[in-house]
Chain A
């Protein structure tokens, strides 16, 4: 079956430092990967959608300079939170799909910023 693994599950970083999270698709080819953030007391907001052989499209309020994403092949994607501050804390979720199929989601990476 189709699975998406996300790691690390939890991470803590100091204010002003950066952290990288990874997303691995198993059992299907991830032609598109969507990254979301759930801030405390909020729902999931889309950060960006990455499609192989296309430019990564960032949503309003999110930039490549802050959240650079790599999608080098059909099974892997990573996103870095640069210069993390308190407002960046929350649960980061990746969803991957093959073509126009349903998105399969990982379990998320919870980021705590000290």
Chain B
């Protein structure tokens, strides 16, 4: 089945620094989503980006479908960005059931 690897596992930044998160997957993805999970556990969808580049606010996601990878760039990080960032992909051969990576834990210090 689909395997989703995220790196780094954890990241510590000072407020204002940029973050680069990576997601690599084993099979071609028809859908790819980035999520934010707060320390309390709630899941929030950030971006849906199966290919190309998408921006929203301080977030930029770039997915290279042929290379089976996606990145999430967070610019000018803030303490409120702290939490876990999850990547989830759906493969063309599947029943549209996303597979989640283990996430990147981000801590932003003031």
Instruction: State the A residues within 8 Å of B (CB).
Output: 9, 32, 34, 36, 38, 42-44, 46, 49, 51, 57, 91, 93, 95, 97, 100, 102-108, 110
Instruction: Judge whether B95 is part of the interface by a CB distance below 8 angstroms.
Output: yes
In chain B between 58 and 110, which residues have their CB closer than 8 angstroms to a CB of chain A? Answer: 86, 88, 90, 95-103
- Whether the Cβ atoms of B96 and A97 lie closer than 8 Å is yes
- Whether the Cβ atoms of A105 and B31 lie closer than 8 Å is no
> Given A34-B97, A49-B97: A105 and B41 within 8 A (CB)?
no
Chain B's interface: helix, strand, loop or mixed, by majority? strand
Partner of A107, one of B31, B42, B90, B101: B42
What number of residue pairs across chains A and B have CB atoms under 8 A from each other? 46
| Minimal beta-carbon separation of A53 from chain B (angstroms) | 14
> Given A43-B103, A102-B31, A105-B35: A93 and B43 within 8 A (CB)?
yes
Complex Cα distance A104/B43, Å? 11
- Whether the Cβ atoms of A105 and B45 lie closer than 8 Å is yes
Give the residue name and chain of the A residue nearest to B42 (CB): A107
A-B contact pairs, 14 of them (CB 8 A): A9-B42, A44-B88, A46-B99, A51-B95, A103-B90, A103-B96, A105-B35, A105-B43, A105-B45, A106-B43, A107-B42, A107-B44, A108-B41, A110-B41
